[in-house]
Amino acid sequence: MRAVVEGDRAALVAATADRLEALLGERIAARGRATIALTGGSVGIELLAALVDRRIDWEHVVVTWSDERFVAADSGDRNARQAREALLDLVPIPAANIRELPAADGTSLDDAATAATGLLEALGPIDLTLLGMGPDAHVASLFPGMPGVREGGARIIPVRDSPKPPPERLSFTVEAINASERVWLIVAGADKAEAVALARSGASPDEAPAGAVHGTLETLMLLDADAASAPA
Ligand SMILES: O=C(O)[C@H](O)[C@@H](O)[C@H](O)[C@H](O)COP(=O)(O)O
């Protein structure tokens, strides 16, 4: 996994916004649209906020999420709601291009996972999956030792016991993430340094889910200097 290191968190966010703006332009020119799976987390949301004023042809961008908290649609915990407030409500992206994973409004988690799997199938190829990473080396809602890190077959799994609240979530599996053309992990802060080193060391997926993800064309770990500060 190639690492790109920027000086600090603000520089990381700005450089990743540049990279993303360029990728979206390139994919739209090449195939008429760009499809990306967004991430929650504080750095992921800062990245979205940094895209508001960029030159992006939003009409041709389709977004979904690599994981979602299974809470009510209007909950402030929803990655989709945070993304709307930071970016999607502020740019001319058509409503039909925003493919939210289901919310917990009268539907069961299992039914939501089935619906999300259908949504993912209808989406076609994903140009880029964005991921944050926790200090335990989790990505999306794939925590160390959980099913979905190794299991084949499923592309979306229901998560019932996330160690980080809220406990119920929907998540891309490693298999779904690894079907994306590009996978970018965006990670800032000294509290992530050990997990970055572990993920890059070839640790098992059960120990470091972040080390198991890769794109079919490109895999990047986009880091600030603090996150890159532990010896690999
Ligand atoms: O699932 C969650 O509850 C979080 O969203 C989490 O997965 C987050 O994406 C990472 O921990 C990175 O978060 P930061 O970008 O805030 O470091």
| Centroid of chain to Cα 100 | 13
| ipTM of predicted complex | 0.95
Residue 183 dihedral angles phi and psi, to the nearest 5°: -125, 120
Global pTM exceeds 0.95: yes
Q: How far is the CA of 94 from the centre of ligand 1 (A)?
A: 27
Q: Does residue 232 form part of some domain? A: no
CATH number of the domain enclosing 22: 3.40.50.1360
For the stretch 131-157, pLDDT in tens is 999 999 999 999 998 877 877 789 999
Name the residue of 12, 68, 133 to mutate for ligand 1: max ligand atoms within 8 A of Cβ.
133
Q: Does residue 231 form part of some domain? A: no
Count how many domains the chain has: 1
Q: What is the extent of the structural domain holding 40?
A: 2-224
State how far the alpha carbon of 161 is from the alpha carbons of 69, 73, 90, 143, in Å: 12, 20, 34, 10
Q: How far is the CA of 138 from the centre of ligand 1 (A)?
A: 9
Q: Does residue 45 form part of some domain? A: yes
For the stretch 21-41, pLDDT in tens is 999 999 999 999 999 999 999
Name the residue of 66, 138, 146 to mutate for ligand 1: max ligand atoms within 8 A of Cβ.
138
Q: Does residue 229 form part of some domain? A: no
